[in-house]
Amino acid sequence: MKAASASGDRPPYRELLATGGLIAADQLSKAWAYWSLRPAEAPVRVIPGFFDLRYAENPGIAFSLLDSGTPAMRLTLLSVAACAALGVGFYLWRTPGDRRLLRLTLACLLGGILGNAIDRIVHGAVIDFLDFHWGAWRFPTFNIADSCITVGAILLALDTLNDLRQSPGPEA
């Protein structure tokens, strides 16, 4: 893959601006949740029986894995986030300008990674507040940054599959 600057393509300034917008939306929504939904005694029912706003703090990763909350674990998770952000940022910078969807995908991933990393630095845990459920089934509470990471990961997988499908196979 050629560097954006080496190929004459524009640098990914628009995508970095989009990343900033996603981080801002994530942090503003979490600030609202922090000040409006705490203490987490009773959820705000948005769609009864399906969707609530419920304050939660997750010191671990997705689905509360690795949620010991120890300083060593927080530092480890922050280090992983920093490495992931650097890797995604580098990949974004090196992605040619004609790969607009891939650039947007990487901006989405970067915004989600950085949004949750900010929470770990400021609060020691990630603030979650979107709570979907149906009967006894409950999806783990999440936030906008988690959504960005999920959408970004799905789009990245689809882009990779598309690249594999389009690449020439071995000659017979």
Over 80: is that where the pLDDT of 88 sits?
yes
Closest CA to 43 of 54, 27, 31: 54
Query: Is 119 known to be catalytic?
Result: no
Residue 83 lies in a domain: yes
Domain enclosing residue 107, as ranges: 13-165
Query: Is 98 known to be catalytic?
Result: no
Over 80: is that where the pLDDT of 139 sits?
yes
**pTM for this predicted structure:** 0.86
Catalytic residue (one of 67, 146, 159, 163): 146
Over 90: is that where the pLDDT of 169 sits?
no
Residue 172 lies in a domain: no
pLDDT-derived band at 5 (thresholds 50, 70, 90) equals very low
Catalytic residue (one of 26, 52, 119, 128): 128
pLDDT-derived band at 74 (thresholds 50, 70, 90) equals confident
Total domains present in the chain:
1
